[in-house]
Structure 1
Amino acid sequence: MPFIIEDCKKYYYYRGLKEYEAQPGFLLDTCLDGQDTFRALLELFEVETSPTSQE
Protein backbone atom coordinates (compact mmCIF):
# COMPACT_ATOMS: atom_id res chain seq x y z
CA MET A 1 0.00 0.00 0.00
CA PRO A 2 1.43 3.42 -0.91
CA PHE A 3 1.63 6.04 1.78
CA ILE A 4 1.15 9.79 2.09
CA ILE A 5 3.16 11.92 4.47
CA GLU A 6 1.00 14.91 5.30
CA ASP A 7 2.63 18.31 5.75
CA CYS A 8 1.80 18.29 9.45
CA LYS A 9 3.69 14.98 9.84
CA LYS A 10 6.76 15.71 7.72
CA TYR A 11 8.81 16.45 10.82
CA TYR A 12 8.21 12.88 12.04
CA TYR A 13 9.16 11.45 8.65
CA TYR A 14 12.40 13.43 8.51
CA ARG A 15 13.19 12.53 12.11
CA GLY A 16 12.54 8.88 11.28
CA LEU A 17 14.97 9.07 8.37
CA LYS A 18 17.60 10.75 10.53
CA GLU A 19 17.25 8.30 13.44
CA TYR A 20 16.67 5.17 11.33
CA GLU A 21 19.86 3.37 12.35
CA ALA A 22 19.21 3.91 16.06
CA GLN A 23 15.39 3.58 16.01
CA PRO A 24 14.06 2.02 12.79
CA GLY A 25 10.62 1.60 14.33
CA PHE A 26 9.99 5.34 14.36
CA LEU A 27 10.19 5.61 10.57
CA LEU A 28 8.18 2.43 10.15
CA ASP A 29 5.40 3.74 12.38
CA THR A 30 5.36 7.03 10.49
CA CYS A 31 5.02 5.22 7.15
CA LEU A 32 2.31 2.93 8.52
CA ASP A 33 0.40 6.01 9.67
CA GLY A 34 0.75 7.37 6.13
CA GLN A 35 -0.69 4.13 4.79
CA ASP A 36 -3.65 4.51 7.13
CA THR A 37 -4.20 8.00 5.71
CA PHE A 38 -4.04 6.66 2.14
CA ARG A 39 -6.42 3.81 2.98
CA ALA A 40 -8.90 6.27 4.52
CA LEU A 41 -8.86 8.35 1.34
CA LEU A 42 -9.51 5.27 -0.77
CA GLU A 43 -12.47 4.40 1.43
CA LEU A 44 -13.74 7.99 1.32
CA PHE A 45 -13.80 7.92 -2.49
CA GLU A 46 -15.10 4.33 -2.52
CA VAL A 47 -12.09 2.96 -4.39
CA GLU A 48 -12.00 -0.82 -4.24
CA THR A 49 -8.68 -2.51 -3.56
CA SER A 50 -7.65 -6.12 -3.87
CA PRO A 51 -7.33 -8.14 -0.64
CA THR A 52 -3.53 -8.39 -1.01
CA SER A 53 -3.17 -4.61 -1.01
CA GLN A 54 -4.84 -4.39 2.40
CA GLU A 55 -1.69 -5.62 4.15
Structure 2
Amino acid sequence: MGADFTWQVLGTVNYLLTDHFSVSAGYKHLPIDYDDEGYVFDATVSGPVLGITYRF
Protein backbone atom coordinates (compact mmCIF):
# COMPACT_ATOMS: atom_id res chain seq x y z
CA MET A 1 0.00 0.00 0.00
CA GLY A 2 1.41 3.40 -0.95
CA ALA A 3 4.94 4.05 -2.12
CA ASP A 4 7.56 1.48 -1.16
CA PHE A 5 10.53 3.71 -1.89
CA THR A 6 10.98 7.36 -2.88
CA TRP A 7 13.96 9.53 -3.74
CA GLN A 8 14.80 12.94 -5.15
CA VAL A 9 17.82 14.84 -6.45
CA LEU A 10 18.34 18.58 -6.03
CA GLY A 11 21.39 20.48 -7.25
CA THR A 12 21.80 24.21 -6.68
CA VAL A 13 24.27 27.02 -7.22
CA ASN A 14 24.22 29.77 -4.60
CA TYR A 15 25.40 33.37 -4.92
CA LEU A 16 25.95 35.61 -1.88
CA LEU A 17 24.65 39.12 -2.65
CA THR A 18 25.28 40.73 0.76
CA ASP A 19 26.02 39.53 4.29
CA HIS A 20 22.30 38.84 4.70
CA PHE A 21 20.93 37.94 1.23
CA SER A 22 21.77 35.14 -1.18
CA VAL A 23 20.06 33.70 -4.26
CA SER A 24 19.94 30.09 -5.42
CA ALA A 25 19.19 28.44 -8.75
CA GLY A 26 19.12 24.77 -9.59
CA TYR A 27 17.29 21.74 -10.86
CA LYS A 28 15.16 19.12 -9.06
CA HIS A 29 14.12 15.62 -10.15
CA LEU A 30 11.45 13.65 -8.24
CA PRO A 31 10.06 10.35 -9.55
CA ILE A 32 6.70 9.27 -8.08
CA ASP A 33 5.46 5.66 -8.15
CA TYR A 34 2.36 5.32 -5.96
CA ASP A 35 -0.03 2.35 -5.83
CA ASP A 36 -2.87 2.00 -3.31
CA GLU A 37 -5.63 -0.57 -3.80
CA GLY A 38 -5.87 -0.12 -7.56
CA TYR A 39 -5.14 3.62 -7.62
CA VAL A 40 -1.88 4.06 -9.52
CA PHE A 41 0.03 7.33 -9.90
CA ASP A 42 3.29 6.99 -11.82
CA ALA A 43 4.95 10.26 -12.86
CA THR A 44 8.20 12.19 -12.80
CA VAL A 45 8.30 15.79 -11.62
CA SER A 46 11.40 17.75 -12.55
CA GLY A 47 12.40 21.29 -13.41
CA PRO A 48 14.20 24.44 -12.36
CA VAL A 49 14.11 25.84 -8.82
CA LEU A 50 14.84 29.37 -7.62
CA GLY A 51 15.31 30.63 -4.09
CA ILE A 52 16.14 33.66 -1.99
CA THR A 53 17.66 33.36 1.48
CA TYR A 54 17.77 36.00 4.21
CA ARG A 55 20.11 35.41 7.14
CA PHE A 56 19.74 37.41 10.33
- Select the structure of larger CA radius of gyration: 2
Task: Say yes or no: TM over 0.5.
Answer: no
The TM-score normalised by the length of structure 2 is: 0.23
The TM-score normalised by the length of structure 1 is: 0.24
Bigger strand fraction: 2
Ranked by relative contact order (alpha carbons within 8 Å, sequence separation 6 or more), the top structure is 1
